Structure formats: structure tokens, C-alpha cells
Amino acid sequence: MDMEFIYAIILGAIQGITEFLPVSSTAHLTLAEHLLLGKGMPLAFDVLLHVGTLLALLIYFRDDLRLIHQGLRGRNHEGSNLGRMIAFAMVPTVIFGFLTRSTKGWAKDHLWVYGLGLLITAWMLYQANLKSSQNSGKPLSSLKKQDALAIGAMQGIGGGFGISRSGSTISIGTLRGLSLNAATRFSFLLGIPTIAAATLFEFKYFIKAWVFNTPLPDSIGFEGGNYPLLSCLMGVIVAFVSGYFSISLLDRLTKNPKLNGFAFYCLCMGTLLLILGTVGIDGLQNLGGIPHR
């Protein structure tokens, strides 16, 4: 079996699982890419993987999306309020996401940034778990504009520094008084426009290449303009299936305060990335006998 095909499966699974669990998908993908490929994967493949996880969100939360649609048409007050809160949260997400966008590429070459981000995530998850164990919290219908703005701001800021998107938004939602499950539900629903907007933003490179009939740089497209369609398709499918599974898992786990396990994992992984950021990824590859491609 072609190694490119196997790598697509592995990276698709990592993307799907870690996109929604509060452990930072970017940190895990960056580490996996450097271990498997010796470099970051092309932006084109990253965009395709996000399409897979976006589909998982759309299907899992189809009832909530239907509720929001009814609210927008004035048929459901709960759906209308939920739609407004998501819109409010997107405002600071876009602003801070734009301001911190330049740090994302830089962080990929400095693993200690992701390590620090995971340690911050671990602390936030611990605080959220402590809060939810002391107080059951309020339902999602009680979410206020200022709560949505705080959640959106944290999402926008954290994205540029390796802080888990789901971990930070769930934690802030819980600390603002929502129940753990309500905060998780809002985090997932907020992820739909966030992932969709980020994916569409990256499509500008492909549109420009198509309009002007110019090849994509290797950092964006695949080397030599060769697109391994089967590997790409498998990556999307695996990201979709594993993403749907991780959404379902976290949705069940957050019905009771059970985030300390994720906090401990982020603590361990963050420490590891801080070490790797110091000794370098090559040191780990040489130790484990992992060849560069």
C-alpha cells in the first residue's frame, strides 16, 4: 500500500479526533506531520480535512441547525436566540483571528508555542471541571450577549497560539455559568461557522490559481501539481468518521463533569512539546529511527 495513502489515513484520523476533543488538533497535526513527513502538509490537504470535520458537525447537529433556521424565520424563539448568540460570538472570533493569523505559520516552526498553548488548555479545563462539579450550571437558553462575546474572543485569541478551540470555548462557557454540556453544545455549534469561514478563507489561493491559471506553491498545493485523489478522498472520509465519533464521545462525557482526564492529557502533551521545542523534532526522530521523507 502506498505510504502517501497510509499517511492520509493517519492524518485524517488525527484531524477528526482532535478537532473536537479539547486537546488542540493543530498541535497534534503539526507534530504528526513533522514525524511522518519531515515537514508540514500542503494547505490543500489541510483544507480537505477540515471539509470532512465540518460535514461531521453539520450532520451531528442537524436538529440544532433546523432549530436555528426556524428561529431565523421567526418560528422559534429558542432557535432565534441561539442564532444571535452564535453571530455575536463570531464577531470577536473574526477580529482576533485576523489579528493573530500571522502567528499560526510561525508557531508551526516553534513547537514550544503549542506546548504552552496545551498547558494553558489544561489549566482552563481543570478550572471548568472544578466549576461544573460545584454547580450544575445554566441551560444554553440562558446565554447572554456578553457571554457569547467572551467565548468568541477566547476562540479568536487561542487559535493563534495553539490553545484548543473546543477546550477554550467550553471552559469559558462553563466559567460564565453554563452547564458543561450546554457549553459543549455551544462550542460545537460555534465551530460550524468558524471552520466554514476559515476553510473558505483558504480557498482564495485556489481561486487565484484557477482565475490566473498559475500553479500553486508546494506549501499550498501538492508537489509538482500532482493531486493524489484517492489519498485525499480517504483523508476526508477518515476525518469525517473520526470527527463524528469524537463529537459523540465528548457530548456524552460532558453530561457529567469529566474533563480532568483531558486536562491531564494536555498537561503531559504540552510538557512533551515544550521539550521537543527545545531539543528539536530531529532529536526525537533520530531517537526513534523515524526516517525523513
Q: What pLDDT, in 10s, does the model give residues 113-123? A: 899 999 999 99
Q: Residue 248: inside a domain, yes or no? A: yes
Decide if pLDDT at 175 tops 60: yes
Percent of the chain with pLDDT over 70: 84
Alpha-carbon gap, residue 206 to 268, rounded angstroms: 38
Q: Residue 289: inside a domain, yes or no? A: no
For residue 105, the enclosing domain spans 3-281
Q: What is the pLDDT of residue 57?
A: 96
Q: Residue 94: inside a domain, yes or no? A: yes
pLDDT band at 288 (very low <50, low <70, confident <90, very high): very low
Write out pLDDT tens, residues 201-223.
877 767 776 666 666 655 555 55
5-17: average pLDDT: 91
Decide if pLDDT at 24 tops 50: yes
Q: Residue 292: inside a domain, yes or no? A: no
Q: What is the pLDDT of residue 76?
A: 86
Q: What is the pLDDT of residue 39?
A: 60
Domain total in the chain? 1
Displacement of CA 19 from its chain's centroid (Å): 4
Region of 224 please: left (phi>0), alpha (psi -120 to 50) or beta: left
Q: To 10 degrees, what angle do helices 111-134 and 101-108 make?
A: 120
Decide if pLDDT at 84 tops 70: yes
Decide if pLDDT at 106 tops 90: no
Q: What is the pLDDT of residue 198?
A: 85
Residues 6+ apart with CB under 8 A from 114: 24, 26, 27, 30, 31, 107, 162, 270, 273, 277
pLDDT band at 244 (very low <50, low <70, confident <90, very high): very high
pLDDT band at 290 (very low <50, low <70, confident <90, very high): very low
The better pLDDT of the pair 72, 224 is held by 72
211-239: average pLDDT: 70
Write down the mean pLDDT value for the chain.
85
Write out pLDDT tens, residues 126-149.
999 999 888 778 999 999 999 999
Q: What is the pLDDT of residue 264?
A: 96
Decide if pLDDT at 232 tops 60: yes
Q: Residue 227: inside a domain, yes or no? A: yes
Q: Residue 192: inside a domain, yes or no? A: yes
Q: Residue 162: inside a domain, yes or no? A: yes
Q: What is the pLDDT of residue 85?
A: 97
Q: What is the pLDDT of residue 123?
A: 96
Q: Residue 290: inside a domain, yes or no? A: no
Decide if pLDDT at 293 tops 60: no
Alpha-carbon gap, residue 16 to 264, rounded angstroms: 21
The better pLDDT of the pair 151, 219 is held by 151
